[in-house]
Every structure is written in C-alpha cells, then in structure tokens.
Amino acid sequence: MSWGNLLQPDLILGNSILSLTPDILEKHNLKGLVLDVDETLVPMSMSQVTHELHQWIQQVKPHAVLWLVSNNISYFRIHRIAEALDLPYIHGARKPSRRRLRKAVEAMDMPVEQIGMVGDRFFTDVLAGNRLGMFTILVEPMVDPADAVRQNPIRNVEVWLSRCLGATVNL
C-alpha cells in the first residue's frame, strides 16, 4: 500500500466531530468508533468536556460502540475525560502504532471494517486506522475559543506532506 493510500481518509468531514451523525454511521455501515481525544474531542488547552460533546456522545452511543484511544501519556487527563463521557479508554497509544489501537478494536468484538477511526491528524489517527483496515474519518480540530484564530502548523505540514505523497486532501 502506498503512502498516499495510507494517509487517505475514507471520509473528510470538514467540520468538528460534532457533525458526525448517526445517519453518516449508518451510511458507511459503522457499528463502532475509536475516537482520538486531544483536539478531536477536547482542545489541548482544556480538560473538561463541553455540554455539546456530552450531547453528541448521547446521540451516537445507541448507534455505535465507542472507545477513546489517545497518544496522550497523561493518565489523569485521559481518565478524567473518559470518566466524564463514561467511555472505555487507552492512553499512551503511540499511534500510528497499531498495538494498543488493536486492543480497542478487539474489545469491540466486531469486524474491523465496521469500526471507524476518528481523529484530526493524518500521521497518527488516519495512518493507524488505515494500517488496521478501519474506516478512517478526518475531522477538523477542536480548538479553544480563545485560540480560535491561531494556526495549526503541524496540521498544515501534515496536509501538505499528505498531498505530496499522493493523498487527495481537500479541506
């Protein structure tokens, strides 16, 4: 598989995770979701979940099994967020490594093709999900409203490099 294919999300939402609806899950036959945490669910500068995120989780839970899988090594941060959302989690996952991501997939006990990997980064979330054969969904990063005007240089480099390697990325 080429780098372009490995970095190509199956779905680019062009918006935050809050726009991922049960209808979209049904359309793509997704019964489970592995969710990145930092900047996918919660801005890096915050450790509290928003009311809107709580509502989204409650809307999606009847339609899909949910797991949090984060590269963040802070047990306290990820545990706190997972506890607030009442979801199982893995921290320190080291994506794009598949090892810990595979644990969440195996715990869901369903075909990997029915599980979506949702995240805001190409070289961690999309790459890891594609390496496992998951349906990959790229979302726009959640940012703290106080930082809404800031640029995301790492993401900008990832988009540029993904395009150079052959991924079709139109954000």
Is 115 within 8 Å of 25 (Cβ atoms)?
no
**Per residue in 8-21, pLDDT tens?**
999 999 899 999 99
Lowest model confidence (mean pLDDT) among 42-51, 71-80, 119-128: 42-51
What are the structural domains of the chain? 3-164 (3.40.50.1000)
- Once rounded to an integer, what is the mean pLDDT over residues 117-141? 96
What ranges in the chain are assigned the alpha helix state H? 3-6, 22-27, 51-60, 75-85, 99-108, 127-132, 153-164
Sign of the Cα torsion 62, 48, 68, 140 reads positive
Q: What is the pTM (predicted TM-score) of this model?
A: 0.88
Lowest model confidence (mean pLDDT) among 98-107, 123-132, 149-158: 149-158
Instruction: Return mean pLDDT, the chain.
Output: 90
